Amino acid sequence: MYVRLTNSRVYYETSGGGEPLLLLHGGFGTVEDFASQTPELAKHFRIIAFERPGHGHTADTSEPFSFETMAEVTVDFIEALKLGAVNLVGWSDGAIVALLVAISRPDMVMRLVSVGGLFDTNAQSKEDLNWIRLLTPESLRKSASPLVKRHDEASPDGPAHFPVVVEKTKRLWLNEPNITKEELAKISAPTLVIAGDREAIPIEHTLELFRSIKGAQLCIIPGTTHFLLSEKPDMANKAILDFLTAKKKPKK
């Protein structure tokens, strides 16, 4: 399905019933990022997953990528579908977007799950930042061919536009996010921070994220990397559902 926002025709999918649960995909991602989560989560919630401009079935715009703009698109999407307050589950870039929505529009967020999230791009290792600098469409076709194939098949802009998306994503990742701990402290929604114990984002940074949000909970999935949602889906799904369906907030 599609919904018309200010300057985009945004693709989305829904399933299940109950409280709204909005899924926010990662960089270069699509709704398929949550393929191992959606069927299970849909047993308990009304799942809504959409694809941001320049991702999946949603055409790109002439604007550069920025997490602030992505958060604004998310707010517009929630308002366009008249969802009211939602539960947010974001992975990778989607986790960053979820944090920004929770900071700017606390009225829209019931509960928040950040999976593989990052709040300061400079916290990444020199190796990872250098890897981003050296990214090319060709290197991605070799190292992440399923991801590129999904773009080529779904994008209304066609395969020829992929190099543009790569450049926009590189610029985004090298310069953002720049969320401060003071901004994180403004998050009032109950929050769960999830990461793999072999996550590329330094564990110290994940701990900082967790400690900066009052009353947040932390879950480290053993034996997993940044791609923990597909590596150990049962464990990840249980952690997400236990948190989202808990009746009482933990004592602070």
pLDDT tens, position by position, 184-206: 999 999 999 999 999 999 999 99
Show the tokens assigned to 237: 């799904």
The answer, yes or no, to whether residue 252 has pLDDT greater than 70, is no
Give the mean model confidence (pLDDT) for residues 70-92: 98
The answer, yes or no, to whether residue 60 has pLDDT greater than 80, is yes
Sequence ranges of the domains in the chain: 2-242
| Residue 44: partners with Cβ closer than 8 Å, 6 or more residues away | 16, 18, 241, 244, 245
- pLDDT score, position 251: 45
Instruction: Let me know: does 87 contact 12? Beta carbons within 8 Å.
Output: no
Phi then psi dihedrals of residue 239, to 5 deg: -60, -45
Residue with tokens 């991602």: 29
Give the rounded percent of residues in the chain with a pLDDT score beyond 70: 98
- DSSP string of 55-69? STTSPP-SSPP-HHH
Cα 30 from Cα 58, distance rounded (Å): 9
- pLDDT score, position 248: 56
Q: Write the DSSP symbol of residue 5.
A: -
Q: Does domain 2-242 bear CATH number 3.40.50.1820?
A: yes
